[in-house]
Structure 1
Amino acid sequence: MTLYVIVCATGPAPGVGDLVTQAQQQGWEVQVVATPLALGFIDVPALEELTGRPVRSRYRRPDEPKPPRPAAIVVAPASFNTVNKFALGIADTYPLGLLAEAPGLGIPVVVLPSLGEALWQRLPYQRSVAQLRAEGVRVLDPPTVTDPFPWHLALEHLSP
């Protein structure tokens, strides 16, 4: 079963390989999808070697093969921007396009945010979290300890 890991441009993003490894140890085949800004945070060649798949960040061209449909999606680390756009249904990037349709397709989504308390307490963010949870998306509370980032929290809500 394929797990999509959507990585956003936040501080913990360079460590996303830890999440990939943990997911693989649980039996998942992992497809990494990066927001355009996250590409500057992650080691793309290392992730491609680890997963055996290209890191995706854009829509495929018609002549490119379709990737496998995900059985589940984890967004980690999730940014303030991505959580809010996801809740509003804004699909202006490939990762957000995947997220926009996932609840309607019945694909489980777990969101592990990485944001400071000032953003976490903002009313727009709280509204977005409530809306996503009402649609069945598992939005976890931002971790209070982020060094090391607790990647395992997202996986605790999934099973292959």
Structure 2
Amino acid sequence: MEIVACGSPPARGISELVSLAKADRWDPFVTLSPNATKWASIAHLERQTGYPVRTEFRTPDEELPVPASDAVIACPVTVNTVNKWAAGICDTLALATLVEAIGRGVPIVAVPFSNPAHLAHPAFRRNLRELSDWGVRVIMLDSPYMDSSVWDSGRPPGQTQSPWEIAIAELRRAAGDGVSPKAPL
């Protein structure tokens, strides 16, 4: 299972999602967008997963350092990434991974994180609908989850699950439902 994290404050806690994935019997590895490398601890994630954290495209003569992903969680995924993903843009390894996952038909869960103004942009909302139409399970968390400190401390007041728990539970459902993303025609 591949975890794709984008450059936003919650990426610093991605090891929590790795732990939950392992507890759920997935074999997770991590791909970071270039900006996510500013937030996440690459060395820690590599020790935790046993795989190299991927951030750049490999050269044609390099072997793939991770197994083929059987599922993908994009969490946190930024507005920039959602908009490029829906357009099929592959200018980073993280985006190429997400675009390819739709074409490969593996279960995909996306959990956006951004500020309210970005989340309200019409292009972003349209692109989320499009990704959803293609089979991506999009989880829009309530506003208490948009406080990045919540992602570090577990759950916002009154909420029963952390953002990471919500993401892994949705991936479990997606994989169990046998629903695969549908590539656009």
User: What TM-score, normalized to structure 2?
Assistant: 0.81
1:31 aligned partner: 29
CA deviation digits over 1:83-133, x for unaligned, max 9? 111111111111111111211211111001111221111101111001101
Residue identity opposite 2:70 in structure 1: A
Contact 2:5 2:33 in 1 (8 A): yes
Equivalent residues of 1:33, 1:57 under 8 A apart = yes
Match of 1:158 in 2: 171
Aligned pairs, number: 158
Contact 1:115 1:142 in 2 (8 A): no
Pairs within 5 Å for 1:3-152 = 3-66=1-64, 67-146=66-145, 147-149=149-151, 150-152=163-165
Higher helix share: 2
4+ aligned runs moved over 6 Å, structure 1: none
Q: CA RMSD in A?
A: 1.2
Say if 1:73 and 1:110, in contact at 8 Å, map to a contact too: yes
Which amino acid in the other structure matches residue 150 of structure 2?
Answer: P
Q: Secondary structure at the match of 1:6?
A: strand
Contact 1:120 1:142 in 2 (8 A): no
Q: Percent identity?
A: 35
1:139 alignment partner AA: V
Structure with greater Cα Rg:
2
8 Å CA contact 2:108, 2:171 repeated in 1: no
TM-score, normalised with respect to structure 1:
0.94
Q: Which amino acid aligns with 1:6?
A: V
Q: Distance in 2 between matches of 1:44 and 1:36?
A: 12
**Tell me, which stretches of 5 or more residues in structure 2 are unaligned?**
152-162, 176-185
